[in-house]
Chain A
Amino acid sequence: MSRSSYLFAGIFGSFAISCFALVLVPQVQLGGLQPQVDEDAGDVYPVYNPRKGREVYASEGCFYCHSQQIRDPQNGLDIERGWGARRTVARDYIYKNPTFLGNMRLGPDLTDVGTKEWRNEDINDPRKPARRDAAWHYLHLYQPTVIVHESNMPPYRYLFETRKISGQRSVDALNVATKDGYEIVPKAEARQLVAYLLSLDSTHPLKEVKGALAPAK
């Protein structure tokens, strides 16, 4: 073999090894993952999240600040902080496309933000709302600092519109001051996004995750 052939063989070989070890083998291991079906209870986990809202989540780039992965206690305090009941594993994500795993936490993890137990405050903090419902999320999206004074989250006022009240005030109208006779209501994107956020719940027990059978209280 000439020097050039060695060079090419090596360049190709090193790439092939990388591709094999980090892409092909994991795909063989994970590619066939199926949802967990509990025939007694008749439930299937995981299920799809609302697609439209997921697209808004992507297009606004929420995942640059919010992760969607719960790590086990030896890797951090994710569970202790109230972000989730158990660590997440590959099976949790089979219908998540994209997965929005996230590389940065400039905001809290949102894996389980749709659950009643989810919190970002201290467990005894009186500011923890009974439930982060749609109204809470709308207000928080519109002006995060109204809810968390120190928040570093940008406001998403452009996902809302100010319109004239015709007849009754809308049920979704935000509880913020505006011109007389007008109200601020979420646009379709905001509704879709909040529906998506409320669907986020990976607390369902999985047989491959030990010590996580009971959801966090």
Chain B
Amino acid sequence: MTAVAAPEIKPTTAVAIEAVPAQAAKAKVSIERATIDAAAAGPVLLFFTTAIGWLLLSTVFGFITSVKLHHPGFLADCSWLTYGRIAPAYNLTLTYGWASLAGMGVGIWLMSRLCRVSIRYPGFLVFGALLWNLGLVIGILCILAGKTSGIEGMEIPRAAAAIMFLGYVLVGLWGAILYRFRRKSPVYISVWYLLGAFFWFPWLFGVAQLLNGLPQLQGVMQSVVAAWYSQSILVLWFTAIGLAAAYYLIPKVVNTPIYSYNLATIGFWTFALFGGLTAMVRLSGGPIPAWLATVSIAASLMMLVPIATVTTNLIFTMRGHTQMVYYSPTIRFTYFGTVAFAVASVVGILTSLRSVDSIVHFTQFQAAQHQLVIYAFFSMIMFGAIYYITPRLVGCEWLSSTLIKLHFWGAAYGGGVLIAMLAFSGLAAGLAMIDPEATFTQVIGIGQVYLAGHTLAIGFVAIAHIIFALHFLLMLLRIGQPGGAPTLFAVPGEEKH
């Protein structure tokens, strides 16, 4: 350092000497990142491991559920596996097992990285993850045994939900603490979404559970609260975490700053404002005051603003780097998820319109929309994030790009066909439903045509998930490529990672 001040140094040497502090700074950042990752490794890997365990279980439940849709006699004599129990078990393991745990793991890691703070006392996060898992295991067992609240979307009995809530509180608290002790300002876009998600989730979960326990909440109001909860959790919890991850991964991996901070700001605030108001579309046409559905339809239309700005921002950040989709697993999954986000959102806006809703309302189209959000958008981005984060926590790279490729194609094609089959089934049944000539039995028969394809698609998805889980297991056992350069699908012409 002192040498720089010496006037007689020749220009060439000066360049060389200037490079040294730059390298030193770079090394310092690497060391800082490594320290942060080392502190996060325990809890984040636990989140990922349990999430993937639930993903496998939910795939099994999903397969059984889907077979029952066209062969109702399948496993019908076992009360634990009857359609009315296994269907919610499938949904809950997918959303609260896989998606929420993966989201929490990714969220905590992102928070720690973006605030440049090492996690202190990671044991509390581990405890939180274990509590959440415990509550969920109890909840799922209760539902399979027939002990359900009977409220769709909130089936988990209150005691089990309380255990999950306690587990979450530790996670949310740790997220808040990381933010409080951040060493980087101003905060990055992903942190806005994460703070939102970490704050919104406990309020939604807590308020909905609490209200449904109150005797004052009678009749239809229960359904209103349940619809408000189920929809808001999709938007303000899953979508928020998914977008936080996309906003981090895309610029990071393609190595460019985000296209526009102004767009990001508009996108975030309109998302926060309108996202929480879209819920009553779920009860549109039902026995609720008409104004309630109207508010939500208006809010859904306004969601066009955040959808357009967020998608534009992410896609424009990729501009000039789209070839990364061929090289980088993280980008391929994340890009897929980003496009799915746009598709899911536009479909959501269209179906909020009364004329469309009255056709698709009670059909499998709703299941298709749910899968679009939870699987094609959220889960795909989580897969991308896990492919990015895990090597940084275990110290080696993914063993095989072929396995990642197989996972991607299974999940993308399988997931795509799964959603398409549900959507076709819903549309066909919905159109028949408004045809006075068709009897209801015929309506169901028309919708059922596509459901064998749905089962086949879940089969593909299952293969993808098994490959992913095995690959992840190898990472936990530190069996992989030596650390340093990421495992890519192909060697890019120009290294950008």
- Residues of chain A whose beta carbon lies under 8 Å from any beta carbon of chain B: 3-4, 7-8, 10-12, 14-15, 17-19, 21-23, 26-27, 29-31, 33, 54-55, 57-65, 67, 69, 71-72, 74-77, 80-81, 87-90, 92-108, 120-122, 125, 144, 148, 150-158
Besides A10-B269, A77-B433, A99-B219, 17 new A-B residue pairs in contact (Cβ under 8 A), listed by A number = A11-B195, A17-B277, A23-B224, A26-B221, A27-B221, A54-B150, A63-B150, A64-B84, A101-B220, A101-B286, A120-B439, A121-B441, A122-B439, A125-B439, A152-B448, A158-B77, A158-B82
Check B366 against A103 for contact (C-beta < 8 Å). Answer: yes
- Residues of chain B whose beta carbon lies under 8 Å from any beta carbon of chain A: 68-70, 72-73, 76-79, 82-85, 87-88, 146-152, 185-187, 192, 195-196, 199-200, 203, 207, 211, 216-225, 228, 232, 236, 269, 272-273, 275-277, 279-280, 282-283, 285-289, 292, 295-296, 354, 358, 361-364, 366-367, 433-434, 436, 439-441, 444-445, 448
Check B286 against A3 for contact (C-beta < 8 Å). Answer: no
Inter-chain contacts of A80 with B (CB < 8 A): 436
Given the known A-B contacts A14-B273, A63-B152, A90-B288, are A23 and B85 also in contact in the complex, defined by CB atoms under 8 Å?
A: no
Check B362 against A67 for contact (C-beta < 8 Å). Answer: yes
Check A7 against B192 for contact (C-beta < 8 Å). Answer: yes
CB-nearest residue of chain A to B86: A61
Given the known A-B contacts A21-B295, A65-B84, are A148 and B441 also in contact in the complex, defined by CB atoms under 8 Å?
A: yes
Check B287 against A92 for contact (C-beta < 8 Å). Answer: yes
Give CA–CA (A80, B440) in the complex, Å.
Answer: 11
Give CA–CA (A131, B100) in the complex, Å.
Answer: 48
CB-nearest residue of chain A to B230: A103
Check B362 against A104 for contact (C-beta < 8 Å). Answer: yes
Inter-chain contacts of A14 with B (CB < 8 A): 269, 272-273, 275-276
Give CA–CA (A67, B439) in the complex, Å.
Answer: 17
Check A64 against B83 for contact (C-beta < 8 Å). Answer: yes
Check B276 against A17 for contact (C-beta < 8 Å). Answer: yes
Give CA–CA (A63, B78) in the complex, Å.
Answer: 19
Give CA–CA (A65, B363) in the complex, Å.
Answer: 10
Inter-chain contacts of A7 with B (CB < 8 A): 187, 192, 195
CB-nearest residue of chain B to A153: B72
Give CA–CA (A120, B444) in the complex, Å.
Answer: 12
Inter-chain contacts of B152 with A (CB < 8 A): 63-64, 102-103
Check A75 against B358 for contact (C-beta < 8 Å). Answer: yes
A-B contact pairs, 26 of them (CB 8 A): A8-B195, A11-B195, A14-B269, A17-B277, A18-B232, A18-B279, A22-B224, A30-B224, A31-B218, A61-B84, A61-B148, A62-B84, A63-B84, A81-B440, A88-B287, A93-B220, A95-B219, A98-B150, A99-B220, A102-B362, A104-B364, A105-B433, A120-B440, A151-B441, A155-B72, A156-B76
Check A26 against B224 for contact (C-beta < 8 Å). Answer: yes
Check A154 against B358 for contact (C-beta < 8 Å). Answer: no
Inter-chain contacts of A59 with B (CB < 8 A): 85, 146-148, 150
> In whole Å, how far is A197's beta carbon from the nearest beta carbon of chain B?
15
A101: which of B85, B199, B223 is its contact (CB, 8 Å)? Answer: B223
Check A33 against B292 for contact (C-beta < 8 Å). Answer: no
Inter-chain contacts of A99 with B (CB < 8 A): 219-220, 222-223
> In whole Å, how far is A94's beta carbon from the nearest beta carbon of chain B?
4
The A interface, classified by DSSP as helix, strand, loop or mixed, is loop
> In whole Å, how far is B53's beta carbon from the nearest beta carbon of chain A?
24
> What are the 6 closest A-B residue pairs judged by CB atoms, nearest first?
A61-B84, A18-B276, A58-B150, A59-B146, A93-B219, A105-B362
Inter-chain contacts of B79 with A (CB < 8 A): 60, 158
Given the known A-B contacts A61-B87, A63-B150, A105-B363, are A157 and B439 also in contact in the complex, defined by CB atoms under 8 Å?
A: no
A89: which of B218, B287, B362, B441 is its contact (CB, 8 Å)? Answer: B287
Check A31 against B217 for contact (C-beta < 8 Å). Answer: yes
Check A93 against B287 for contact (C-beta < 8 Å). Answer: yes
CB-nearest residue of chain B to A69: B286
Inter-chain contacts of A27 with B (CB < 8 A): 216-217, 221
Check B287 against A101 for contact (C-beta < 8 Å). Answer: yes
Check B439 against A121 for contact (C-beta < 8 Å). Answer: yes
Give CA–CA (A153, B295) in the complex, Å.
Answer: 36
CB-nearest residue of chain A to B186: A3
Give CA–CA (A92, B220) in the complex, Å.
Answer: 9
Check B149 against A98 for contact (C-beta < 8 Å). Answer: yes
Interface centre among A19, A64, A121 (most CB of B within 10 A): A64
Give CA–CA (A93, B218) in the complex, Å.
Answer: 8
Given the known A-B contacts A61-B84, A103-B362, are A19 and B207 also in contact in the complex, defined by CB atoms under 8 Å?
A: yes
A69: which of B68, B228, B287 is its contact (CB, 8 Å)? Answer: B287
Check A64 against B88 for contact (C-beta < 8 Å). Answer: yes
Given the known A-B contacts A10-B272, A157-B77, are A26 and B288 also in contact in the complex, defined by CB atoms under 8 Å?
A: yes
Inter-chain contacts of A158 with B (CB < 8 A): 77-79, 82
Given the known A-B contacts A26-B221, A104-B366, are A18 and B77 also in contact in the complex, defined by CB atoms under 8 Å?
A: no
Inter-chain contacts of B216 with A (CB < 8 A): 27, 31
Inter-chain contacts of B146 with A (CB < 8 A): 59-60
CB-nearest residue of chain B to A60: B84
> In whole Å, how far is B434's beta carbon from the nearest beta carbon of chain A?
6
Inter-chain contacts of A77 with B (CB < 8 A): 433-434, 436
B222: which of A21, A98, A121 is its contact (CB, 8 Å)? Answer: A98
Give CA–CA (A7, B236) in the complex, Å.
Answer: 15
> In whole Å, how far is B108's beta carbon from the nearest beta carbon of chain A?
18
Give CA–CA (A120, B186) in the complex, Å.
Answer: 62
Check B150 against A100 for contact (C-beta < 8 Å). Answer: yes
Give CA–CA (A107, B269) in the complex, Å.
Answer: 41
B441: which of A55, A63, A150 is its contact (CB, 8 Å)? Answer: A150
CB-nearest residue of chain A to B85: A61
> In whole Å, how far is B303's beta carbon from the nearest beta carbon of chain A?
13
Check A154 against B76 for contact (C-beta < 8 Å). Answer: yes
Check B87 against A11 for contact (C-beta < 8 Å). Answer: no
CB-nearest residue of chain B to A101: B223
> In whole Å, how far is B468's beta carbon from the nearest beta carbon of chain A?
29
